[in-house]
Amino acid sequence: MKVLTSLSSLPLLRNPIVTLGTYDGVHTGHRAILTQLIDKAKETGKDSMLITFDPHPRQALGLGEISLLSTLDEKIELLSETGLDYLLILPFTKEFSNQGARDFISNVLIEQLNISEIILGYDHKFGHNREGDVHLLADVLTKTNRFVTEIPAQDVDEIIVSSTKIRTALIEGEVESANRLLGYNYQVKGKVVNGKQLGRTIGFPTANIEPLNDSKLIPGNGVYSVTTRMEGITYQGMMNIGIRPTVSDSNHRVIEVHLFDFNSDIYGETVTISLCHRLRGEQTFSGIEELTKQLKKDEVDSRRYFASL
């Protein structure tokens, strides 16, 4: 997959079949669209292309904070696995957002990209004031012998897949539901930073994780079975997300990972954590002894989870 970041220096394209959208999370609904697009491009000898935007439109327009399912780097990595020929990343600015949908179709899709077809998911909207839709596309493109295809809503066990539903599941700690909709285990990348090292004193040394991107969605508080990838090696373990009410009176959320059968100094390392299963919600214990007892149970439950896979 070739990544393009400008319309000013496009390679020679073969009348691409395109789709467009933010594609946050690159979930199963997105992949269904991409699969149809890529298959059709291969069958007709054309290029396949996704047009996406950076930053996320809500961020660029100041419409409130958005918790991303995938950072730009993660999105590129996920899309590179699909077989897509081109990923075109357009800078999303207020000026760009003011461009009318009809102008975008004419100036970008027809004149600069010379597309042969566009494939969109159900009820997709784009352009200034979200005025662009499949009907406007058909009105403009079919007059130039180009095609428009709308894919019906993609269902997973009768649940319509959307980034919003995935965000809600993660915020509520329902990582397995989120993972099913994503088609892969949700990941958080971060750097190992110094902590209070309380875990070492009770037999559960933990690595404190600082996410690499402040906009990345952090799932709801609780204890999770996770895998952690570092320097090409994957370790099993468990992770706590929360305010640690038993040992701290701060409301600051922290992410702590305990790796099984591991006791090396990894401060400063960058790790990728994949959330696999939620063990329990965050709890307040009467003291360190009760907390330690629960952590031992969490480890048993987590190891049993991994053994069952």
Q: Give me the residue spans of the domains in the chain.
A: 2-160, 185-307
Q: How confident is the model at residue 122 (pLDDT cuts 50, 70, 90)?
A: confident
pLDDT beyond 90 at 89: yes
Nearest CA to 222 out of 279, 143, 165 is that of 279
pLDDT > 70 fraction of the chain, expressed in percent and rounded: 95
**Helices 163-171 and 175-182, interaxial angle, to 10°?**
160
Please report the pLDDT score of residue 156 as a whole number.
55
Cβ contacts of 265 within 8 Å, gap of 6 or more: none
Q: How confident is the model at residue 197 (pLDDT cuts 50, 70, 90)?
A: low
For residues 267 and 206, is the Cβ–Cβ distance under 8 A?
no
Q: Do 2-160 and 185-307 show the same overall fold? A: no
Q: Taking residues 201-213, what's their average pLDDT? A: 86
Please report the pLDDT score of residue 237 as a whole number.
97
Q: Taking residues 174-182, what's their average pLDDT? A: 97
pLDDT beyond 70 at 201: no
Homologous superfamily of the 185-307 domain (CATH): Riboflavin kinase-like (2.40.30.30)
Q: Taking residues 173-188, what's their average pLDDT? A: 97
The rounded Cα 131 to chain-centroid distance in angstroms is 26
pLDDT > 90 fraction of the chain, expressed in percent and rounded: 71
Q: Taking residues 11-22, what's their average pLDDT? A: 95
Please report the pLDDT score of residue 61 as a whole number.
74
SS (H, E, C) the chain: CEEECCCCCCCCCCCCEEEECCCCCCCHHHHHHHHHHHHHHHHHCCCEEEEEEECCHHHHCCCCCCCECCCHHHHHHHHCCCCCCEEEEEECCHHHHCCCHHHHHHHHHHHHCCCCEEEEECCCCECHHHCECHHHHHHHHHHHCCEEEEECCCEECCEECCHHHHHHHHHCCCHHHHHHHHCCCCEEEEEEECCCCHHHHCCCCCEEEEECCCCECCCCCEEEEEEEEECCEEEEEEEEEECCCCCCCCCCCEEEEEECCCCCCCCCCEEEEEEEEEEECCCCCCCHHHHHHHHHHHHHHHHHHHHCC
pLDDT beyond 80 at 246: no
Q: How confident is the model at residue 58 (pLDDT cuts 50, 70, 90)?
A: confident
Please report the pLDDT score of residue 190 as a whole number.
97
Please report the pLDDT score of residue 137 as a whole number.
92
Q: Taking residues 17-29, what's their average pLDDT? A: 95
Please report the pLDDT score of residue 225 as a whole number.
98
For residues 285 and 291, is the Cβ–Cβ distance under 8 A?
yes
Query: What pTM, to 2 d.p., does this model score?
Result: 0.90
CA distance 197 to 207: 9
The tens digit of pLDDT for each residue in 255-280 reads: 999 999 998 889 999 999 999 999 99
Q: What is the CATH topology of the domain spanning 2-160?
A: Rossmann fold (3.40.50)
Instruction: Tell me the two tokens of residue 31.
Output: 């992949």
CA distance 15 to 132: 22
Q: Taking residues 42-57, what's their average pLDDT? A: 94
pLDDT beyond 80 at 48: yes
The tens digit of pLDDT for each residue in 139-169 reads: 999 999 999 998 877 655 656 788 999 999 9
Q: To the nearest whole number, what is the mean pLDDT of the chain? A: 91
